[in-house]
Chain A
Amino acid sequence: DADVTQTPRNRITKTGKRIMLECSQTKGHDRMYWYRQDPGLGLRLIYYSFDVKDINKGEISDGYSVSRQAQAKFSLSLESAIPNQTALYFCATSASGPQYFGPGTRLLVL
């Protein structure tokens, strides 16, 4: 079984809809991250959490929110999706060292 899982893997939604992307990990790591990937821009950090009670904005947090429900779960929400949020979203975890990534969620906002 994968150490970092993301659901859904693919999602199509419409402008204005609320959507939640979920991430779970079995690595026992305290630190979790959400990134988005756009062609030519690499990965950019949206939010990160160093433990259950810690939430921090990253480089591009506008339009997004997160919830750290447990050590193993970190969800990303788009309150009102817009087309320029169409991207590939990755969750990652770490234990003070390299980050380990999930398989990604491909989101299309129409």
Chain B
Amino acid sequence: AQSVTQPDIHITVSEGASLELRCNYSYGATPYLFWYVQSPGQGLQLLLKYFSGDTLVQGIKGFEAEFKRSQSSFNLRKPSVHWSDAAEYFCAGDNNAGNMLTFGGGTRLMVKP
């Protein structure tokens, strides 16, 4: 069965520190992969997407993600976290260009001053 797993439910980092949020997928073929962010009281905003090609994907707000087929991972990274990055982050995957998303359980990021 297709699945997306985010192993970390909560992560706390200090402002200015680097960030990596983990995402693992289980699909028969290379899936389309997405990262979304949900700020408190808000809907989900698309950060970045991977369809094919370059395995390092740049997104909005200074985020990037790297697709690693050998590890079935699509981890989200940011070199220096800002307090405004505190939110919940969702990884999602699909075999059909994003039409039928399967979401991970989410990772809640807290940022310490």
Residues of A bordering B, CB below 8 Å: 4, 31, 40-45, 48, 50, 90, 92, 94, 96-104
Contact = CB atoms under 8 A, between A and B. Distances in A.
Contact of A43 (B45, B49, B98, B103): B103
Given A43-B103, A94-B98, A100 B90 contact: no
Interface in B20-43: 34, 36, 41-43
- Residue among B44, B45, B92, B98 with the highest chain A CB neighbour number at 10 A: B44
Q: Which applies to chain B's interface (DSSP): helix, strand, loop or mixed?
A: loop
B105 A98 contact: no
A27 B13 CA distance: 36
Nearest to A50: B99
A86 B16 CA distance: 37
B34 A4 contact: no
Given A97-B97, A98-B34, A42 B104 contact: yes
Given A42-B90, A42-B104, A98-B49, A104 B98 contact: no
Contacts, number: 51
A94 B99 contact: yes
Contacts of A102: 43
Contacts of B98: 94, 96-99
Contacts of A31: 99
Interface of B: 4, 6, 9, 34, 36, 41-46, 49, 90, 92, 97-101, 103-106
B43 A101 contact: yes
Given A98-B49, A99-B98, A42 B42 contact: no
Nearest to A59: B102
Given A94-B99, A98-B98, A102-B43, A40 B34 contact: no
A100 B105 contact: no
Given A40-B9, A42-B90, A90-B44, A99 B101 contact: yes
Query: Considering the complex of A and B, which 3 residue pairs feature the smallest CB-CB distances, nearest first?
Result: A42-B103, A101-B43, A101-B44
Contact of B46 (A4, A43, A100, A104): A100
Contacts of A40: 9, 105-106
B106 A104 contact: no
